[in-house]
């Protein structure tokens, strides 16, 4: 009976070791998990233009322009797909 308990303990420690090794391997592959920043948009909005440029390596108006263009692209793709799905559902 003592052999059974020692083998169970060995299995438990082996599972823990595997879990630690897997976590370390995952961190090597994908990097450390990133912390979530609450109120990110408010924090960015409160930055001065100099801080914004230093942190993001782009001027604020250029960033807003790119964001606006990307939003419009996604919006038109969304409208197109919704229209397409609607037309396909009518035909079927």
- pLDDT tens-digit profile of 8-40? 666 668 888 888 888 887 887 887 777 777 888
Q: How far apart are CA 8 and CA 12, in angstroms?
A: 6
Banded model confidence at residue 54, pLDDT cuts 50, 70, 90: very high
pLDDT confidence of 92, banded at 50, 70, 90? low
Residues 1, 26, single domain; the answer is yes
Highest mean pLDDT among 12-26, 53-67, 69-83: 53-67
pTM above 0.85? no
Q: Are 24 and 55 found together in one domain?
A: no
State how far the Cα of 75 lies from the Cα of 67, in Å rounded to an integer: 12
Nearest CA to 37 among 25, 57, 55, 20?
Answer: 55
Are 47 and 21 within one domain? no
Residues 6+ apart with CB under 8 A from 52: 44, 59, 60, 63
Structural domain containing residue 81: 38-92
Work out the end-to-end distance of the chain between its first and last CA atoms, rounded to an integer number of angstroms. Answer: 68
Mean pLDDT calculated for residue range 74-87 = 75
19 and 56: one domain? no
Query: 53 and 27 share a domain?
Result: no
Residues 28 and 57 in one domain: no
Number of domain units in the chain: 2
58 in the same domain as 24: no
């Amino acid at each position: 009976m003592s052999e059974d308990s020692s083998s169970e303990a060995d299995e438990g420690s082996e599972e823990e070791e595997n879990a630690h090794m897997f976590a370390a391997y995952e961190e090597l592959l994908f990097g450390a998990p990133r912390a979530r920043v609450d109120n990110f948009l408010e924090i960015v909005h409160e930055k001065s233009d100099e801080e914004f440029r230093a942190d993001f390596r782009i001027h604020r108006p250029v960033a807003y322009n790119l964001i606006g263009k990307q939003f419009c692209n996604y919006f038109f793709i969304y409208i197109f797909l919704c229209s397409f799905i609607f037309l396909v559902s009518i035909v079927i």
